[in-house]
Amino acid sequence: MKKISSLFLLVWLIAFSLLYVTKTIESSKGYGGANTLTIYNWGDYIDPALIKKFEKETGLKVIYQTFDSNEAMMTKISQGGTTFDVAVPSEYAISKMKEEGLLLPINHSKIPNLRYIDERFLDLSFDPGNEYSIPYFWGTVGIVYNRALLGGKEITSWNDLWDPAFKNQILLIDGAREIMGMALNSLHYSLNDTNKTHLLQAKQKLDQLTPNVKAIVGDEIKMLLANEEAAIGIVWSGDAAEIMWENERLDYVIPKEGTNLWFDNMVIPKTAKNIEGAHQFINFMLDPKNAAQNAEYVGYSTPNKKALEYLPKEIVEDERFYPSEQLADKLEVYENLGKSMLAYYNELFLQFKMHRK
């Protein structure tokens, strides 16, 4: 009997240990619960002090994980093995996630701070009525350039980039929609164009840009431009603000032909376990003072109209990051092109990259 009792105790201890280890692993991987909130966001895309403040106010423990592309984020959520309570995808990803049933509807009655969001950023085509998403940040795609390295030349247009004087001076971000969109805009076409003749024209024009392209890169573009390894870069506006902070000789311009107006919104994935906590977090981030603090830390533009009152005047009056309505009329939101057309964009962009070699 003693042997049986000892064996039973050993089995119980092993089972308890396995349960503890499993719970620990699940927590680290994003398996949330009533006392935790698992957030899936872009890297360096929130002021860490706000996470601590939220934890203190709510008593919830935040598990924060990051992704580096919308595609990686969507894949992980669609697989369903990991629980995320809040995610922050871009507008075209939100449209796709809705189609695939990956999102839960948001209860607006639990988001009273939604009233502070500028109406221009609500009820947009990718999520009518904001049924599934709430604005987090917005911005543009544009051109960072170093006037000193260009002999004092100014850049105001996408078409300026084809100037032979800029040979081997341009860095491009490694994104099919951004770079194909740049070429389409330079031809005065929509960056959501699905006319294959227009798309081939855009690809041919990109081929003509090849002598001026030094490299097609990822996140390292910020360091390379700040260190003056190249004179020109195609970047997102928030990255531009960071680069300009590092090197005051750099400037950012929204090209006169128009460009992309992008949005990153907060959503609640269908795998969420703490739906109540998700609503609390979204509402917390929409508090005007919190939104202002977050915008100043991250460097991107806030859609929170009330938050602008708490930001430095030189930030909110800078039309490079808060463009005038006249310029804003030339900005386009990426539309969900569908799998077939998106694959065609990617194919043309890949052909352009191979052409450079």
Residue 92 labeled ligand binder: yes
Report the 3 state secondary structure along the chain.
Answer: CHHHHHHHHHHHHHHHHHHHHHHHHHHHHCCCCCCEEEEEEECCCCCHHHHHHHHHHHCCEEEEEEECCHHHHHHHHHHCCCCCCEECCEHHHHHHHHHCCCEECCCHHHCHHHHHECHHHCCCCCCHHHCCCEEEEEEEEEEEEEHHHHCCCCCCCHHHHHCHHHCCCEEEECCHHHHHHHHHHHCCCCCCCCCHHHHHHHHHHHHHHHHHEEEEECCCHHHHHHCCCCCEEEEEHHHHHHHHHHCCCEEEECCCCCEEEEEEEEEEECCCCCHHHHHHHHHHHCCHHHHHHHHHHHCCECCECHHHHHCCHHHHCCCCCCCCHHHHCCEECCCCCHHHHHHHHHHHHHHHHHHHC
- The span from the CA of 221 to the CA of 219, in Å, is 5
The annotated binding site is made up of 92
The annotated binding site for spermidine is made up of 92
